[in-house]
Amino acid sequence: MQIVAVNKLDLSYPIIGAGNASLKNSIIAKTTGVKISGTDKVPMVNALQDINFGLESGDRLGIIGHNGAGKSTLLKVLAGIYYPTSGKIQINGKLVSTLNISLGMEQEATGRENIIIRGLLSGLTKKQILAKLEDIAEFCDLGQYLDMPLRIYSTGMATRLAFGTVTALEADVVLMDEVIGTGDAAFMAKAQARLDKFIAQAHVLVIASHSEETIRKFCNKALLLEHGKMKAIGAVDKVMDIYNGSVTA
């Protein structure tokens, strides 16, 4: 059974307020390779074109390609942040996205309160969140700061709180744009073990990354995007060879 099914997916969006559209279209097309269409008044970016793939339980898909190829855009469509212009996406199961791990964090709320807020936004009941709270608190190791407002946290402390909370969620499908960082080098070994466990419990992982090492570590399949179109999909070695060959060329 397919957990994720993407069929004939297209995404186009207008560039609002793009004065001197003809000149800008020409510059964008030449520098990124992204196709620009539409009228002179409202140019359109054809960000994704005819994307098709299916993923079953156990699949770990790495999305690769040059800057502007559409990697993050595809993840945002899968996450429901962007709505496709045409085509169909079907996701069977609970989806957790780490595209913005600080989503819903309130600066005036305490760390403990923010754990509850993020859990509620992710569809958990308060009872389910409270059952995970001590595990998250122990992992974050913020001590008394957990009962203080988020606004007094350092960037690293806030990232640890968000990381600990999102990786405590159970998911059938996990979407990641690069590997989550913690902002604290001394914390990385502990965070890596938690991240590995978080990914392992999911049926499907979809991750976009510029790092060949990351793709090879986490993925058994790869999707190569070029100017918003699929250039190749299949085993990691095969797709990486095509990508590295195109970069060399």
- Higher pLDDT among residues 186 and 35, named by residue: 186
Sign of the four-CA dihedral 47, 52, 58, 60: negative
Q: What is the pLDDT of residue 220?
A: 97
Mean pLDDT in the chain? 88
Q: How far apart are CA 59 and CA 61, in angstroms?
A: 6
pLDDT digits (tens, 9 = 90+) for 99-156: 888 888 999 999 999 999 999 988 899 999 999 999 999 999 999 999 999 999 998 8
Torsion angle defined by CA atoms of residues 139, 140, 142 and 147, in that order, rounded to the nearest 10 degrees? -100
Range of the domain at 10: 2-93+207-248
The pTM is what?
A: 0.84
Residues 160 and 187 in one domain: yes
Residue 101 lies in a domain: no
Q: How far apart are CA 126 and CA 119, in angstroms?
A: 8
Residues 175 and 222 in one domain: no
Q: What is the pLDDT of residue 64?
A: 97
Q: What is the pLDDT of residue 162?
A: 92
Question: Looking at the 3D structure of the chain, how many domains does it have?
Answer: 2
2-29: average pLDDT: 75
184-189: average pLDDT: 72
Q: What is the pLDDT of residue 223?
A: 98
Q: What is the pLDDT of residue 247?
A: 66
Residues 196 and 212 in one domain: no
- Look up residue 200 and give its two tokens: 């392992």
Q: What is the DSSP string of 166-209?
A: HTTS--SEEEEESPPP-S-GGGHHHHHHHHHHHHHTSSEEEEE-
Residues 198 and 214 in one domain: no
Residue from 74, 95, 56, 71 nearest 221 by CA? 56
Residues 118 and 42 in one domain: no
Residues 41 and 82 in one domain: yes
- Look up residue 82 and give its two tokens: 């962007």
pLDDT digits (tens, 9 = 90+) for 74-92: 999 999 999 999 999 999 9
* Alpha-carbon distance values, 149 to 107, 152, 165, 183 (Å): 6, 6, 16, 19
Residues 184 and 237 in one domain: no
Q: What is the pLDDT of residue 188?
A: 79
- Higher pLDDT among residues 179 and 26, named by residue: 179
pLDDT digits (tens, 9 = 90+) for 23-64: 555 555 555 555 556 555 677 788 999 999 999 999 999 999
Q: How far apart are CA 44 and CA 145, in angstroms?
A: 47
Q: What are phi and psi of 124, to 5 degrees?
A: -85, 155
Q: What is the CATH number of the domain that holds 44?
A: 3.40.50.300
Q: What is the pLDDT of residue 44?
A: 79
Q: How confident is the model at residue 21 (pLDDT cuts 50, 70, 90)?
A: low
Residue from 11, 30, 8 nearest 70 by CA? 11
